[in-house]
Structure 1
């Protein structure tokens, strides 16, 4: 949006036009009217950030009206250099409307910037004192706004700075909460998809005896604050080298693992997912901090940039690391596992899992069907070290061969085939936990791409 400074005469003309429109609507509908504008100090009355704040306020007003069953007879909004305006004609008691609008002004985090007038059907404006409410408070000191305004107690620059801080802070928090919510939702979708060969789902516990469906729900809920911290870490270090972001993500990942173990009584439900989803949260934060666009390609490319230095160092110093199953697989077969997947930008997600998930859903598959099918494609595409760790490499090769035969015969294998695989995996104590983590990533990015608020 082009930023334009307005003059006092512009604002006077805008107020006069607004008053005329108010009376015009009242005469036409003979009902009470809500008029919504913003309190923005200074000569710049509109910008992308200001308009976003206005839309947030308008949405809040409509949400309050909707949940109370209040009929909206007319709605009009305008976006001008002199500010944003909304006119809402409602069929409701004037006192109830004034109380609701005042509550929004007093309780919403951006409410101090909202100016919501309520006009009765005779054209008179209802004041806060008529419903027992006091004067609105100053943006800076919290004192009576009339006193500070009339005496110009606070410099214009201070008011403008505070206004921008409020708006930016609110939308940043909203973004962080939304992304962390998508991450948790993705974990819940992953465990909910049923059937899944060898994995915990709604039907059974797969090849596991120490965890069930509710273990995963408890763990996912416990991870929310840590996903938030990981997104913030990405935002705060967006201008720093990727290695710095990754180190901070590692620290938060340890905290997340502790929360997981506390929630599950020391059962490992999401350790792999914490690594993968944490990197994605950090990548999303970095993209946001650099004002980039959240697409699957950009997110996964950023994941690669974050993970590659760590992975290269780990593989180049494999002898100095603890002799984990992952280290042994790398030394014996060159299998890089989840570290290699992340360093390469999760290619199995980008080229196999996410496309098939989106296509299956678009073609009418249920979430269970789409999720189960996506899991099979991921398992056929990426090396699942969990299966190898629970059996051996030759067993994994046999599983992959069987999956490829199934997928070559049927693009979307039937649930009966997947249930049969489930029985086979359970009988052999196989659990494709790595593919399950990639499925969660597919859901995560799918939710982000479907979000029209970004």
Structure 2
């Protein structure tokens, strides 16, 4: 009798990219203590979200991310056919997410951001440097999907009302909150020996210092946005989340945002994008000879 072959089947490129996208969402959810966001401590400013729901939502999106990567490989170039395929897959993925969460919007913004980045990475897997991937994602985001629903999301409505940059514009500009703020802070905090969890918290705070987070604007207006931005900067100025003074400021910010019912969900989505980009930009050969 021949022994069973217990060697795991190598992952395809599309499976690996889907894994990394889901991992980024779960890592973002687990990161603690995040100000007014769902984490291992509790629900933050939310009444309809909890950590296990965030995990279930992230896992439900794996097929959509895989399909987006497959579409990128199939079409092979940035163009309207790929853009519209991504939109269709993203909308299907959103319905799967909503069925999993009983109608709660857990990751709508993340589907947009990570979907673009997954497709951009799959388009040219030999060049997954952060700047190259975000540029390809921006070129996709600039294309208009003729089949996209016309009613504006809450985030888009708020962006119009306040003249803020929404998730769409952030992607169209190549994710500046990630490239210019989150990734540099992540690397800076790592280099200072602050530990991975503190480095990720500092990256989130770096995003929050300048982002016009439409989730915060929708829930708490300009007062909430100013509280978020100034509070996040105060944490970093105090030494970041690895310092005692920074932790005190972080606790204060958490309490202030919860009191305002202001949850920085847009910043959380961009942190997940940062973690995804960080992994494919690491230069450890993830996409070379691993499939």
Shorter-chain TM range is 0.7 to 0.9
Per-residue Cα deviation, 1:337-359 (whole angstroms, up to 9, x for no partner): 10000000101101110121133
Paired position in structure 2 for 1:433: 265
Q: In the alignment, is residue 270 of structure 1 matched against residue 107 of structure 2?
A: yes
Which of 121, 127, 133 is the aligned partner of 1:284?
A: 121
Task: Identify if the C-alpha distance between structure 1 residues 440 and 327 changes in structure 2 by more than 3 Å, giving closer, same or farther.
Answer: closer
3-state SS in 2 of match to 1:392: helix
2:208, 2:228 within 8 Å by CA — same for their partners in 1?
no
1:335 deviates by 1.7
CA distance in 2, matches of 1:220, 1:330: 26
Per-residue Cα deviation, 1:419-452 (whole angstroms, up to 9, x for no partner): 2211221111110000000010111112222342
Paired position in structure 2 for 1:453: 286
CA distance in 2, matches of 1:381, 1:186: 22
1:324 deviates by 4.3
Task: Identify if the C-alpha distance between structure 1 residues 225 and 324 changes in structure 2 by more than 3 Å, giving closer, same or farther.
Answer: closer
Q: In the alignment, is residue 182 of structure 1 matched against residue 36 of structure 2?
A: no
Per-residue Cα deviation, 1:56-96 (whole angstroms, up to 9, x for no partner): xxxxxxxxxxxxxxxxxxxxxxxxxxxxxxxxxxxxxxx9x
Paired position in structure 2 for 1:390: 219
Report the structure number with the largest CA radius of gyration. 1
1:372, 1:418 within 8 Å by CA — same for their partners in 2?
no
Which of 139, 142, 148 is the aligned partner of 1:308?
A: 142
- The aligned runs of 1:1-400 (5 Å cut-off) are 104=5, 174-239=12-77, 241-288=78-125, 292-310=126-144, 321-322=150-151, 324-400=153-229
Per-residue Cα deviation, 1:179-212 (whole angstroms, up to 9, x for no partner): 1111111001000000001100001100011110
CA distance in 2, matches of 1:331, 1:359: 34
Paired position in structure 2 for 1:148: none
2:234, 2:249 within 8 Å by CA — same for their partners in 1?
no
1:395 deviates by 3.1
Per-residue Cα deviation, 1:28-75 (whole angstroms, up to 9, x for no partner): xxxxxxxxxxxxxxxxxxxxxxxxxxxxxxxxxxxxxxxxxxxxxxxx
Q: In the alignment, is residue 420 of structure 1 matched against residue 252 of structure 2?
A: yes
1:409 deviates by 4.0
CA distance in 2, matches of 1:442, 1:381: 15
Structure with greater strand percent: 1
**Which of structures 1 and 2 has the larger relative contact order (alpha carbons within 8 angstroms, sep 6+)?**
2
CA distance in 1, matches of 2:174, 2:69: 18
1:244 deviates by 1.8
CA distance in 2, matches of 1:433, 1:441: 13
1:382, 1:435 within 8 Å by CA — same for their partners in 2?
yes
1:321 deviates by 4.4
Aligned residues: 282
1:196, 1:419 within 8 Å by CA — same for their partners in 2?
no
CA distance in 2, matches of 1:331, 1:108: 50
Per-residue Cα deviation, 1:119-156 (whole angstroms, up to 9, x for no partner): xxxxxxxxxxxxxxxxxxxxxxxxxxxxxxxxxxxxxx
2:141, 2:172 within 8 Å by CA — same for their partners in 1?
yes
1:369, 1:415 within 8 Å by CA — same for their partners in 2?
no
1:214 deviates by 0.2
Q: How large is the Cα RMSD of the aligned pairs? A: 2.6
Q: Compute the TM-score of the two structures, normalised by the length of structure 2.
A: 0.88
Task: Identify if the C-alpha distance between structure 1 residues 220 and 231 changes in structure 2 by more than 3 Å, giving closer, same or farther.
Answer: same
